[in-house]
A and B are shown apart, each in its own frame.
Chain A
């Protein structure tokens, strides 16, 4: 059974700082890996999807990388803004996604 872990559980940074969120998974035979953002009391917003054949994906200030051999993915956020404050989740699976417990990010103005 796939297990997904996210470290750190919480992160607080000053505005403008670059930061990295980590995600690790136990089963490297994955189809893809998705990063999501969840605001308090809200649903999930898909940020990036990396197919298993890809190494990274970029969208604006976000860059996600995937290393299947080591069972790791990272989400890099450049020039963080207070609006980036949210919980960031990674998930992987075929049809049934396995989620990490998330990293709660606070960007301090």
Chain B
């Protein structure tokens, strides 16, 4: 059973470009979470999704960031018009259910904005 998969593992974008980060949850998991780890800071929750629904986006910046988890295919975290401050490691996690279920993390995508 493959774990949570994220791609690309490393992504370099120039300021103003768009970044698309993909996450495939573990088999049988329908709950996906995105977290961001800024340099020298802890992980911060961004958004929680189930298939075709955003359940909690309380950690998402109000502008330029969006997330989706379509019926088919991976979850996508999209950052429009990237700025240097978006440089970070973005981690995706998945679980079988909500609240008390264990979250399993992917290897992360390291975004560098030049």
Contact = CB atoms under 8 A, between A and B. Distances in A.
A45 to B, nearest CB: 8
B43 A95 contact: no
Size class of the A contact interface (CB-based, 8 Å):
20 to 34
B56 to A, nearest CB: 6
A52 B101 CA distance: 11
A49 interface: yes
A43 B104 CA distance: 10
Given A95-B33, A96-B48, A101-B41, A49 B99 contact: no
Interface centre among B56, B93, B100, B102 (most CB of A within 10 A): B100
Range for the number of chain B residues in contact with chain A = 20 to 34
Contacts of B105: 36, 43-46
Given A43-B91, A44-B91, A102-B42, A97 B103 contact: yes
Nearest to A100: B42
A101 B37 CA distance: 10
Contact of B100 (A31, A96, A98, A99): A31
A54 B97 CA distance: 19
B43 A99 contact: yes
Contacts of A100: 42
B108 interface: yes
A100 B44 CA distance: 10
B16 interface: no
Interface in A63-109: 89, 91, 93-102
14 contacts: A41-B110, A43-B105, A44-B43, A44-B93, A45-B105, A46-B103, A89-B42, A95-B31, A95-B48, A95-B99, A96-B33, A96-B48, A98-B45, A102-B42
Interface of A: 31-32, 34, 36, 41-46, 49, 51-52, 89, 91, 93-102
Given A95-B99, A100-B42, 4 more contacts: A43-B108, A44-B91, A96-B56, A99-B35
